[in-house]
Amino acid sequence: MSILVPPPLAEAPAKGGLRVRGLAKRFGERTAVEDLTFDVRPGEVFGLLGPNGAGKTTTVRMLTGLLRPSSGDAEVWGHSVTHDGESLRKVVGLLTEQPGLYDRLTARENLRFFMKLHEMDESVAWPRAKHYLERFGLGGREDDPCGGFSKGMRQKLAIVRTLVHDPRVIFLDEPTSGLDPESARTVRDAVAELASEGRTIVLCSHNLAEVERLCERVAVVRRRLLALGPVREMRRAGQSLDVRVDGNAEAFVPALAALPFRPNVLVEGGRLRVMLADEARAPDVVACLVGAGARVHSVVPAQRPLEEVYLDLLREEET
Ligand SMILES: Nc1ncnc2c1ncn2[C@@H]1O[C@H](COP(=O)(O)OP(=O)(O)OP(=O)(O)O)[C@@H](O)[C@H]1O
């Protein structure tokens, strides 16, 4: 599958967004991340995908100034991760997998503590916090201790904390983990809204349906970059046809499987799903079905789910 698109080095953003060049991290003998190069625009929601241990957290830690790269560099909203640690922290927001809140403190105290730590002007930061508390359904719970919050409430408070300093680039690690469907929707809407305000969002998630909904482009990493490109193009690679026929769809599988180009055929919900390496074969599929006596109601080219593309990519890399 040739979906590895070389990053557009010449068109790298001058200031906003991300500009990552040859980023690498070694822990002793172990190389966690190797030669990462990509750009992300302001206003873009970008997915950083990869299996467990692929190096996503390490990458995010480097891009937020928490970990020094072994080699390479990156500019985050114009701030170098190797030289501008102090100013970098002011423009990035990071939601880690663990909310890391103080249970004995109230929501307000947790947020205030964070504001102090980052030397924020509370008269500016608190109204912003209040806005996001309301936005995420935590209005009125400011003075409750976090120890009594549900998992979802803690996650939402952690998201509020990520946003109080008005970051330009926001890194979100599994932001909807543990949230009920309604809360997950609120968070997804907020992510889209934050991007529409011109911020850059980097989303790390194993929830590929969510990535598909939110991200324009994704990078798939396993230590190094395996693929980089628009989700839409990735899903188009290796098309399939969704065919609806009268009667028992299963009965037509042998005829299709005997075609000279031997397509893989599945029956899903009474429909035929015919995988094609080449979309120019679609008329042959229809002719074969008609020849086998099928009454064909509809033939729709279907995009593959991102999950399928992603799993193929990892399998391909293993072989
Ligand atoms: N501080 C560290 N010291 C030594 N090795 C580390 C350290 N941090 C990460 N690693 C190693 O680097 C590799 C990448 O880990 P990382 O946490 O970045 O993966 P990940 O893609 O975020 O995984 P997951 O999806 O499970 O969160 C792993 O092999 C891990 O053991």
Q: Whose CA is nearest to atom 1 of ligand 1?
A: 27
Residue carrying the six token digits 């599988």: 253
What CATH number should be reported for the domain holding residue 243? 3.30.70.260
The closest residue, in CA terms, to atom 13 on ligand 1 is 32
Quote the CA–CA distance of 105 and 221 in Å, as a whole number.
Answer: 38
pLDDT tens for 271-318 read 999 988 777 899 999 999 999 999 999 998 887 788 888 888 888 877
Does residue 166 contact residue 135 with C-beta atoms inside 8 Å? Answer: no
In-domain check, residue 318: no
Structural domain contains residue 4 = no
User: How many helices (DSSP H) and strands (DSSP E) are in the chain?
Assistant: 11, 14
Q: Report the separation in Å between the CA atom of 229 and the middle of ligand 1, taken as the mean of its atom positions.
A: 24
Specify the residue with its C-alpha closest to ligand 1, atom 26: 52
User: 172 is in which domain, residue-wise?
Assistant: 9-234
Specify the number of domains making up the chain: 2
Side-by-side strand order, sheet with 265-268: 265-268, 271-275, 240-245, 296-302
Nearest partner of 216 among 192, 240, 194, judged by Cα: 192
Domain containing residue 228: CATH number: 3.40.50.300
What's the whole-model pTM score? 0.81
Q: Which residues line ligand 1 (CB under 6 A)?
A: 27, 30, 32, 50, 52-58
Read off the DSSP letter of residue 78: T
Q: Does residue 3 fall inside a structural domain?
A: no
How confident is the model over 151-195, as pLDDT tens digits?
A: 889 999 999 999 999 999 999 999 998 888 988 998 899 899 999
pLDDT at 11 over 90: no
ipTM metric: 0.97
On whether both 296 and 223 belong to a single domain, the answer is no
Whose C-alpha lies nearest to ligand 1, atom 9?
58
CA distance linking residue 252 with residue 149, whole number of Å: 55
251 in the same domain as 207: no
Same domain? For 283 and 170 the reply is no
Torsion of CA 295, 277, 310, 316, to 10 degrees: 140
Give, for ligand 1, the residue of 25, 26, 29, 30 to mutate: max count of ligand atoms closer than 8 Å to Cβ. Answer: 30
